Amino acid sequence: MNGLELVKAAMKRQEVERVPWVPFVGAHAGHLLGLNATTYFKSEQHIIDGAEEAIKKYNPDGIPVTFDLQIEAEVLGCELKWSDDNPPAVVSHPLADGSLKLEDLKVPCRCKGRIATVMNAATKIKEAHPDVALYGLITGPFTLALHLMGTDIFMKLFEDPEYVGKVMDYCTKVGKAMSNYYIEAGCDVVAVVDPMVSQIDPMSFEMFVSPYCKEVFSHIRECGALSSFFVCGNATQNIEEMCKCEPDNISIDENIPLDFLKEQCDKYEISFGGNMKLTSVLLIGTPEDCKFEAIECMDIGGKKGFILAPGCDLPMATPPENLEAIAEIVHDEYQQDVLRTKGQTAKDVELLDLENYFTNDKVKIDVITLDSEGCAPCQYMMQAVELAVKEIGADNIEYVEHKIKNQEGIQMMLSLGVRNLPTICIDGTIEFISIIPPKTELVKCIQGHLDKKAVVNS
């Protein structure tokens, strides 16, 4: 079987000769070309060249055209903040700031903005590599709605559900149009990437996500393509609801145990993928670490219905030799057996001494993230903290983001006992895990810590 055939067979839950390998190459493709992320994401030719380089180096069975969840938001009027080493971030929300009304928004055409850039690139990548499964990534309806509405959406879920429903209906229309464009451009798989669904409870998911995503997946199926539901963050509580949306595949990151995902997907006869650790292994680990990680995931996933992939979009500076090592082990069953026999000793991470880190005169807020510049849930959690601190207006509050893209961030995460991202810790206490709290709730929580300090100092 070639790569495309392997991916299709896995998504149809057929037994395969080996586990298919799909590296989620986004900004990392720019790194392969020696470009910054901004230059890469804005150029049709760079996207083509980046995919070409990734296919040459990593021998994948499938690959995304690109990985950018701001393409739709940009053409719909959201302002973007561009970065050298991450995809752009949405920094304005036209339905929240009043610059646009919902009735003003139209479904963008294929020729609009960077939609055209990506679709033209997709066509040329597919023509050059017909045997590689090409993934077109669309922004999921709930994440797109949040881009348009900002964090107001979390309050309006309860205060004005009818309006949220109308926004979701519009975002669904955009998702179906984008699916059409990718399929027409030659993509074999349309992935609905909706990271923000990890931030809501199952009841809200069932009401505000399920009917809309189910409509998108049904549309993709009617168009003759395969579908995948991408989520990042601790969406464990929503996996069963995701299955009920009837995608062909669900792909997760390290926040969700792969064996749990397998159990749920087997129940609903859906294929699944993931969930290699993005930072502690792929970004800062060794090639051997990456081989062992790949084997562990493949042994859990098995050869029926599983696709090996990073937990999400690859960090831009991921060492190519780490991904080349995965490609090597995926295609070499003998080497897999050798490494299984050899076993692995887990790397020890030295915990930080936090004895003097917290003080009686200041409330310390530690936000553990992947990277707020490149991860939507992390971005909106940091935004929630900033807004809450600003509203309180006290001088004795300090907030710090710890990105687990570096050793210090990993050390802080483990030292605080954090297991899922993003997470807010206040004075060493884990307060909000993979949930973006409403501003009123976060303000109340921070104020409670301030009051405790006042009692101690009185």
- Could you please report the per-residue DSSP string of 272-331? EEEEE-IIIIIITS-HHHHHHHHHHHHHHH-SBSEEEEESSSPPTT--HHHHHHHHHHHT
> Coil, helix or strand for 432?
strand
Tell me the average pLDDT across 359-383: 91
| Residue 458 predicted with pLDDT over 80 | no
Phi, psi (5° rounding) for residue 164?
Answer: -60, -40
Question: CA-to-CA distance for 319 and 369, rounded, in angstroms?
Answer: 21
Placement of tokens 């004075």 in the chain? 427
pLDDT of 219: 98
DSSP summary character for residue 359: B
| Residue 169 predicted with pLDDT over 80 | yes
Which tens digits make up the pLDDT trace of 182-237? 999 999 999 999 999 998 999 999 999 999 999 999 999 999 999 999 998 889 99
Quickly count: other Cβ atoms within 10 Å of residue 184's Cβ: 14
Q: Do 297 and 311 meet the contact criterion of CB atoms below 8 Å apart? A: no
Distance of CA 257 to the CA centre of its chain: 16
pLDDT, averaged across the chain: 94
Question: CA-to-CA distance for 29 and 54, rounded, in angstroms?
Answer: 7
Placement of tokens 């995902």 in the chain? 261
Question: CA-to-CA distance for 323 and 180, rounded, in angstroms?
Answer: 31
Distance of CA 83 to the CA centre of its chain: 17
Which tens digits make up the pLDDT trace of 24-75? 999 999 999 999 999 999 999 999 999 999 999 999 999 999 999 999 999 9
pLDDT of 415: 94
pLDDT of 342: 64
Which tens digits make up the pLDDT trace of 382-427? 999 999 999 999 999 999 999 988 888 989 999 999 988 899 999 9
Instruction: Name the token pair of 139.
Output: 């922004």
> Coil, helix or strand for 233?
coil
Distant-in-sequence, close-in-space partners of 53: CB < 8 Å, separation ≥ 6 = 29, 32, 33
Per-residue pLDDT band at 345 (split at 50, 70, 90): very low
| Residue 344 predicted with pLDDT over 50 | no
Strands 423-426 and 429-433: antiparallel
Strands 80-81 and 226-230: unpaired
Output the pTM of the full model.
0.88
Per-residue pLDDT band at 444 (split at 50, 70, 90): very high
Question: CA-to-CA distance for 238 and 261, rounded, in angstroms?
Answer: 11
Which tens digits make up the pLDDT trace of 294-341? 999 999 999 999 999 999 999 999 999 999 999 999 999 878 887 876
